[in-house]
Chain A
Amino acid sequence: MPRWVAAVLSATALAALIAFGYLMRQMSAITAGLAAHEEIRAALRTSLGDQKQLARLDPANRDRYRTRFEQFRTLQQRLDVVHMTGVQMTRTLVYALTSLVAVAMAMAVGSYFIVRRDREQRLARIRSALAELSTGRSGITLDDHRRDSIGTIASMIEETSRVIAGDRKTIQYLEHLSAWQEAARRHAHEIRTPLTAARMEIEDVIARATVLAPLAEDEFARRRRSIIEELDRLRDFTTQYTSFARVGKPSLARMDLRSFVSDFCIVFRNAWPNLTLVSPNGSSPCLVAADGEMLRQVLVNLCSNSSLALGKTAGAVTFSISAHRGQVCLDVADDGPGVDAAIVSRLFQPYVTTRTIGEGMGLGLAISKRILLDHGGDLQLIDSAAGARFRLTLPAAANEHA
């Protein structure tokens, strides 16, 4: 606000205050003057004399005249006191009311400046946060949650910062995963070609050797089986590489996740002898857009991991569904030993596993997370007091009838 405007407002407020005090004084003086007007008091004095005169002339009603006399006398005395103290009362009233108004005005002005200063400080913090956001910084917190427009803007900046941080993390993960997939594709290609050639050469060598030495046919057959077994193992290894490298794009279709998981629990109830699958509670549909085949692959992978972690112990995998802010969450929790703390931070990276060599390549969770990311959701390990709890997040599909 320009200084001249503030000066004009202050002068106006002061003039208003003085005018108020003057008017109050005039009004109070008029009121007090009316209350103790000399004509009224003189009339009362005359009335007192009249009552005494009447009492003398009409002794039978003396008491009645006495009572009236006392009433007039009391009123006259009250007006006399008001007359004597009117100026005092007027002055006190004017001072008191003018002081009240002055205090109210001072508080209003003070409040205005305090509110203005507070708003300027909040706006300065907003400006600073916006500058940081424009440089791509994430994790911005403003701690301004008041229910006004500035508080709303602060919340939006914080939310945007969180989304940027999440997106950046996802992008980094996908870039990293893409690099691993490309490497896997090349390795699979480099291995597959000589593998096929080696298999053909071995078949040819064994066939020729059998012709040349028919007596050693059994020995040749045994050696052939052994070599082919190893080549098949290498082929299976390459196949896993290939499936990791060729995770396809999901073919989305609208589905009720709750009934999908319930069906899964029924169909796969005997797939893992040491596992009991517990369906999610509730009956209301949770609509999502997802590729059923890929989703099933993810659930199979999670249940397989749980079964392996439990080993010979029997356990349960419990499914639960919740919806929040346009997303549907499917929690898959087991009561096994939980995830080794040493690998939690790298759990979804390719080739991360606690199993011994030959028991899996550690690609299942990386493939599962890629599938969920391609669905526009995510796969996360959630803190759990016991066992392992994974959360699949999928965007909710709009209700047909909405």
Chain B
Amino acid sequence: MSRHALLAVALAVQFSVPLLAQVPRVTTRAGAMRVSLPRAVLVREDVRRQLTNGLTTVFTIGVTTSAGARRARVEIRYELWEEKYLAEVYEATGRRSADLADFERLLKWWEQLTLLFAGNAGVGEADVTIDVLPFSAREAADVQKWLAGSMTKAQAASGLAKNLPDPAQESSNFFDILIGTSMKRKPIVEMHWKVPIVAEGR
């Protein structure tokens, strides 16, 4: 091969890899759909900052094809004491988890991650969305209960409330419902792609 050809191939590889890393990959094989996630999601500055604050960052992945819409979820939390990343994947086959010592390992794990969706992907293109939520539903419920308990204790201290509910139990008063309905997890990042569905060999 000539030097020019070799240079052309090298340049193509160098640019295509980053390009491939920017979009998800949807493949179908043996009646199941697999989705690989782009590293571009994780290397964003706002996402990387969110990953290190100790809250559970939730990545909700939605895939819509001619065969229907399906969802999966990846939760990543930085364990502040042990200084490592704890990742959990929720997909069609169930749940799996991983412990990663640093961000580089996390990135590598992310790139190698393939989400499995049951059922055929259909043909044509797939709409892939990734929403990055700043905290998990469990953490939101915990804060809701904590705020409700704080209000109850404040009422008790001021002597306003009689028959105080047990702070450990879920309160159904007006403010509790108000907090619950207003504490919506607004995505910090929303990404959307339209990618071709690739049928892989059997």
Contacts and interface: CB of A to CB of B under 8 A. Distances in A.
Interface of A: 48, 52, 66, 69-70, 73, 76-78, 80-82, 84-85, 88-89, 91-93, 96
A77 B181 contact: no
A68 B81 CA distance: 11
A76 B55 CA distance: 9
Which 3 residue pairs are nearest across A and B when measured between Cβ atoms? A92-B182, A81-B143, A89-B182
Nearest to A84: B134
Contact of A88 (B55, B135, B143, B182): B182
25 contacts: A48-B80, A66-B81, A69-B80, A73-B81, A76-B54, A77-B55, A78-B143, A80-B135, A81-B135, A81-B139, A81-B143, A84-B134, A84-B135, A84-B186, A85-B183, A85-B184, A85-B186, A88-B183, A88-B184, A89-B178, A89-B179, A89-B182, A92-B181, A93-B182, A96-B178
A84 B147 CA distance: 15
B190 interface: no
A82 B53 CA distance: 14
Given A52-B81, A77-B139, A78-B143, A85 B55 contact: no
Nearest to A91: B182
Contacts of A84: 134-135, 186
B76 to A, nearest CB: 15
A92 B178 contact: yes
Contacts of B184: 85, 88
B46 interface: no
A133 B178 CA distance: 60
A85 B179 CA distance: 10
A210 to B, nearest CB: 117
Given A84-B134, A93-B178, A78 B186 contact: no
Contacts, number: 52
Interface residues of B, number: 20
Interface in B125-151: 134-135, 139-140, 142-143, 146-147
A77 B54 contact: yes
Nearest to B174: A96
A73 B80 CA distance: 8
Contact of B55 (A70, A81, A89): A81
Given A84-B134, A89-B179, 12 more contacts: A66-B81, A69-B81, A73-B80, A78-B146, A80-B55, A80-B135, A81-B135, A81-B183, A85-B182, A85-B183, A88-B182, A88-B186
B6 to A, nearest CB: 51
Contacts of B139: 77, 81
B54 A73 contact: yes
A390 B106 CA distance: 109
Contact of B143 (A48, A73, A82): A82
Nearest to B147: A82
Contacts of A76: 54
